[in-house]
């Protein structure tokens, strides 16, 4: 079993996809807009009055390192709190790159530094409001 975070954006998911892929050298596995949905689809329920502009992202799926993340513009005005997306690697240089690139334009809440459990660790809220933790863990013998 794998747990995959699903992040919701308020109309800027397309920009977040491009930013995350560039910052992590990730891979786009799938992307669909609301305009790509079939007209007869009942995905949101027949009584739903929810409508989204056709160009917004209905669903996207990214691979970053060995993990995956899913994203959508499907729940506008959601506040991000009570979680953080966590990236871990044994490679200190890779962890530092992820931290530097993903935190660009955001707010660093814990500067990148070694800790008793990691060769490098830092936390930030990215420019889209998503909280992150990046950990370059110490290899265990």
Largest CA-CA distance found in the chain, in angstroms, rounded: 57
Residue with the larger pLDDT of the pair 3 and 15: 15
Contact 89, 95 (CB under 8 A): yes
Is it the case that residue 129 has pLDDT exceeding 70? yes
**Listed residue (98, 102, 90) closest to 136, CA to CA:** 90
Q: Is 126 exposed, middle or buried (0-12, 13-18, 19+ CB in 10 A)?
A: buried
> What token pair was written down for 92?
């200190």
CA separation for the pair 47, 42 (Å, rounded): 9
Q: Which H or E element spans position 94?
A: helix 92-102
- Percent residues over pLDDT 90 in the chain: 75
Q: pTM of the full predicted structure?
A: 0.87
pLDDT in tens, 34-61: 999 887 656 655 555 667 889 999 999 9
Return the CATH number of the domain spanning residue range 83-141: 3.10.180.10
Which stretch of 2-11, 40-49, 79-88 has the lowest confidence by average pLDDT? 40-49
Percent of the chain scoring above 70 in pLDDT? 89
| HSE (side-chain half, CA atoms, 13 Å) at 141 | 0
Coil, strand or helix at 135: strand
What is the pLDDT of the chain when averaged over all its residues? 90
Tell me the pLDDT tens digit for each residue of 99-115: 999 999 999 999 999 99
- Can you give the residue ranges of every domain in the chain? 1-76, 83-141
Q: Give the pLDDT of residue 38.
A: 82
> Thinking of the domain 1-76, which architecture would CATH place it in?
2-Layer Sandwich (3.30)
């Amino acid at each position: 079993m794998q747990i995959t975070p699903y992040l919701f954006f308020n109309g800027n998911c397309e920009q977040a996809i491009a930013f995350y892929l560039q910052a992590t050298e990730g891979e786009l596995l799938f992307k669909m807009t609301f305009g790509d949905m079939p007209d007869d689809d009942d995905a949101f329920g027949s009584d739903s009055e929810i409508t989204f502009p056709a160009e917004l992202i209905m669903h996207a799926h990214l691979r970053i390192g060995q993990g995956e993340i899913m994203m959508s513009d499907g729940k506008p005005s959601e506040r991000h709190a009570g979680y953080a997306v966590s990236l871990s690697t044994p490679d200190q240089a890779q962890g530092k790159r992820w931290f530097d690139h993903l935190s660009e334009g955001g707010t660093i809440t814990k500067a990148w530094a070694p800790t008793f459990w990691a060769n490098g660790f830092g936390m930030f809220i990215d420019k889209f409001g998503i909280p992150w933790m990046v950990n370059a863990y110490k290899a265990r013998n």
